[in-house]
Amino acid sequence: MGVLKRFEQRLEGLVNGTFAKVFKSEVQPVEIAGALQRECDNNAAIWNRERTVVPNDFIVELSSSDYQRLAPYASQLGDELAAMVREYAKQQRYTFMGEIKVNLEQSAALDTGLYRVRSRTLASSTSAGQAPAPP
């Protein structure tokens, strides 16, 4: 990851964190969707001219209050976010090594309105079905 990209991420985190603390806004699913797209873009690994691999396993850490609010919908929300990641990857011509999973976790270290996304690339036997169709 380039210096400019890291600077942009730090600046974005600072601005978002400041607004979240000042306005005490809750995390919205659309914010998480955007963060997952950025996570794919920032962690894309070019394997060859036809294949760029992105993470397929995402953990979204939420503050206690945001987690309590979204936890009843965690399974459905995870499925919808995974579908959104799949569609975004298709548009960008990204591929996956395995099934796409999005899970929510509670983090006592985060204030209301703040979240953190962790991702990794996990291979599975179903990876062939996860690649977008060729143009």
- The 10s digit of each residue's pLDDT in 18-31 is 444 444 689 999 99
* Phi, psi (degrees; rounded to nearest 5) at 28: -110, 145
Which pLDDT belongs to residue 76? 97
Query: Dihedral, CA atoms, 35, 38, 44, 50, nearest 10 degrees?
Result: 110
Burial class (CB in 10 A: 0-12, 13-18, 19+), 43: middle
Fold for the domain defined by 3-130: hypothetical protein PF0899 fold (3.30.2320)
Q: What average pLDDT does range 4-30 have in this prediction?
A: 60
Q: 3-state DSSP call for residue 118?
A: strand
Q: What average pLDDT does range 57-75 have in this prediction?
A: 97
Cite the DSSP H helix spans in the chain. Answer: 3-23, 29-42, 64-70, 74-92
- Alpha-carbon distance 50 to 52, whole Å? 7
Beta bridge partners of 119: 58
Per residue in 92-118, pLDDT tens? 999 999 999 999 999 999 999 999 999
Containing 104, the helix (H) or strand (E) segment is: strand 101-106
- Alpha-carbon distance 49 to 37, whole Å? 21
Task: Please say whether the beta carbons of 133 and 78 come within 8 A.
Answer: no
Is pTM beyond 0.75 here? Answer: yes
